[in-house]
Every structure is written in C-alpha cells, then in structure tokens.
Amino acid sequence: MSYYLLIAGALLTAFILQFLFSMIQMKAFNVHYGRLRKIGRVAIGKSKGGFHAGAMVMFAIDKRGMIKEGCFMRGFTIFARFKKFNDFNGKNVGLITKEDCKGMEYSLRRSVLNAASNYNTIMDGGEVVETPGLLTRIADMLLGKSRKACK
C-alpha cells in the first residue's frame, strides 16, 4: 500500500512541477509578446514538436508588414526560453520564402514560414486554423475520427 502512495505522490509532484514551469513559460511568452506589441502588430508562427523540438517565433511588424524585431523559442522542454531573432529585420513578413530560411534548424524554419503564412491569411481576410497536435491526431486515428468530416 505504501508503494502506491509513493507512486501517487511522485506523480502528483511531477504534475505540480509541470504546471508551475508551464506557468513560468507562459509568463515569459506574455512578457515578450507585450514588448513586441508596443512596437507594432505581432506575427506569430508555431511548429509543434511531437518527437522533435518544437519552436515558436514572434515578429513585431509595422503597418506595411516590415519586420522591426523578432524573437524565438525552440526546444523540447519547459526550460526553453525566448531569444532575440533579428535575421529578418527589415524584410516583409509576408514575402518570406524557404530560400530565406536556408541553414535554419527544421522547426525554426517551419515556424518562420508559418508566421508568414498566418500573416498572409489574416491580410487576405481569412482565419488561421490551428493544426491538431500529435496526441490529438493519434487519438483521432485510434477512435476512427476524421477531421475532414467535421469541417
């Protein structure tokens, strides 16, 4: 019986730590987003990780879509932090292509291209659709649900 309590205590501790670290990471996101928002509008791109490191990029842009400042976060864990990302300063966010992202790590490249795509979608009057995560796709596959049928 004491083993079960020990395991339950360890799981509860892990859950609480995960929650606390996630809150710290969300606060860091809010701080960086607020700072970029003071500069202008913000274009955000995400690349979910799954079995590889995920990434998120944020660009402060002016009224013409020109990037003034950027930051990114990349990593597997809740210990990932935002870093300055000025590689695209002065470039129009809607015109970023794969060629512009040569030499970048895979998830960061996908995030930059996602930010460009999101910007173009919003400027065309559309709505950005959130792609389902890995666990959602696996659960849908196991339960036999089709995302296409829901739309």
Bridge partners, 46 (sequence order): 56
Q: Does residue 150 carry a pLDDT above 70?
A: no
Percent of the chain with pLDDT strictly greater than 70? 95
Residue 118's pLDDT is what? 92
What distance in Å separates the CA atoms of residue 121 and residue 4, rounded to the nearest whole number?
51
Cα distance between residue 132 and residue 121, in whole Å: 18
Residue 138: which of 52, 53, 51, 78 has the closest Cα?
A: 51
pLDDT at 149 over 50: no
Q: According to the model, what pLDDT value does residue 151 have?
A: 45
The set of residues, in sequence order, having a beta carbon less than 8 Å from that of 35 and lying 6+ positions away, is none
In sequence order, the β-bridge partners of residue 7 are: none
Measured in degrees and rounded to the nearest 5, phi and psi for residue 89 equal: -55, 135
pTM of the model: 0.76
pLDDT at 127 over 60: yes
31-58 residue pLDDT tens: 999 999 999 999 999 988 767 788 999 9
- Rg over alpha carbons for the chain, rounded to the nearest Å, is 19
Residue 53: the pLDDT is 83
